[in-house]
């Protein structure tokens, strides 16, 4: 991929005979690795910038199924309804019903829980939090790192707990009087949990 991009950019660059004196000077400076922000090599196209420590910190969190990495904080369903309305409803709908190009978040099947015939590829079952998500802890993880869509990672841990509580309540997983923290979130067993199996395959040896 990088080679193709480099070739394409090289092919689109004007030859020395096609450049004006001004552009010749610019390209000479660029070819010498003097492009502001570039690492100082001919292979640099001065694209992007170094990630700030704060940006890395916002993404450098991996909360797994056991939830041992969950941060301190707490949030209620009631608070989550307020945060959801302000931060999430414009994409996912006022009640989590989903909008064009943005997924539905709320919904359980008619029996109130996934059926034994549950299939990942079933066409008549929307993959909502209530009937598809296997772990409540990883729901927190996804919201924390990826939401809201326009400013991912901008919500406080308290507000992420609150939105998580609101969505779990809307999916009839927890009562609407619940306040979640790390301990309470780890204790939740999602309705679809038993429809997933761990990937216990061992890495295979590779040859160089």
pLDDT of residue 8: 39
Radius of gyration of the chain (CA): 24
CA distance 143 to 147: 5
CA-wise closest residue to 170 among 99, 87, 85? 85
Question: How far apart are alpha carbons 155 and 19 in whole angstroms?
Answer: 49
For residues 129 and 168, the answer to whether their CB atoms sit within 8 Å is yes
pLDDT at 194: 84
Please give the pLDDT value at position 121.
46
Q: Where are the beta strands (DSSP E) in the chain?
A: 75-76, 179-180
**CA 95 to chain CA centroid, nearest Å:** 21
Q: Residue 118: its pLDDT value, please?
A: 47
**pLDDT on residue 147:** 95
Write down the pLDDT at residue 31.
Answer: 46
Write out the H or E segment, with its range, that includes residue 75. strand 75-76
* Regions of the chain with pLDDT less than 70: 1-44, 110-125, 206-208
> pTM for the complete prediction?
0.68
What pLDDT was estimated at residue 102? 94
CATH class of segment(s) 53-195: mainly alpha
Q: What is the pLDDT of residue 18?
A: 53
Per-residue confidence (pLDDT) for residue 197, from 0 to 100: 78
Question: Is the Cβ–Cβ distance between 132 and 49 less than 8 Å?
Answer: no
**pLDDT reported for residue 113:** 45
In this structure, what is the dihedral angle of CA atoms 72, 76, 79, 84, given to the nearest 10 degrees?
Answer: 80
Question: Which two tokens mark 83?
Answer: 């945060």
CATH 1.10.760.10 maps onto the chain at 53-195
Q: Are 118 and 195 in contact (CB under 8 A)?
A: yes
Structural tokens at position 79: 């608070």
């Amino acid at each position: 991929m990088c080679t193709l991009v480099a070739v394409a950019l090289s092919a689109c660059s004007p030859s020395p005979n096609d450049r004006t004196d001004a552009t010749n000077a610019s390209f000479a400076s660029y070819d010498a690795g003097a492009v502001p922000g570039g690492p100082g090599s001919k292979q640099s196209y001065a694209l992007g910038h170094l990630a700030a420590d704060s940006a890395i910190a916002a993404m450098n969190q991996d909360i797994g199924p056991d939830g041992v990495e969950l941060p301190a904080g707490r949030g209620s369903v009631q608070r989550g309804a307020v945060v959801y309305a302000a931060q999430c409803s414009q994409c996912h709908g006022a009640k989590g019903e989903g909008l064009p190009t943005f997924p539905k978040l709320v919904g359980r099947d008619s029996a109130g829980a996934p059926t034994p015939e549950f299939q990942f590829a079933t066409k008549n079952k929307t993959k909502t939090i209530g009937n598809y998500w296997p772990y409540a802890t990883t729901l927190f993880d996804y919201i924390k790192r990826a939401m809201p869509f326009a400013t991912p990672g901008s919500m406080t841990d308290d507000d992420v707990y609150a939105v998580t509580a609101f969505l779990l309540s809307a999916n009839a997983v927890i009562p609407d009087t619940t306040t979640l923290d790390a301990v309470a979130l780890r204790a939740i067993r999602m309705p679809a949990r038993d429809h997933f199996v761990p990937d216990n395959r061992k890495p295979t040896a590779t040859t160089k």
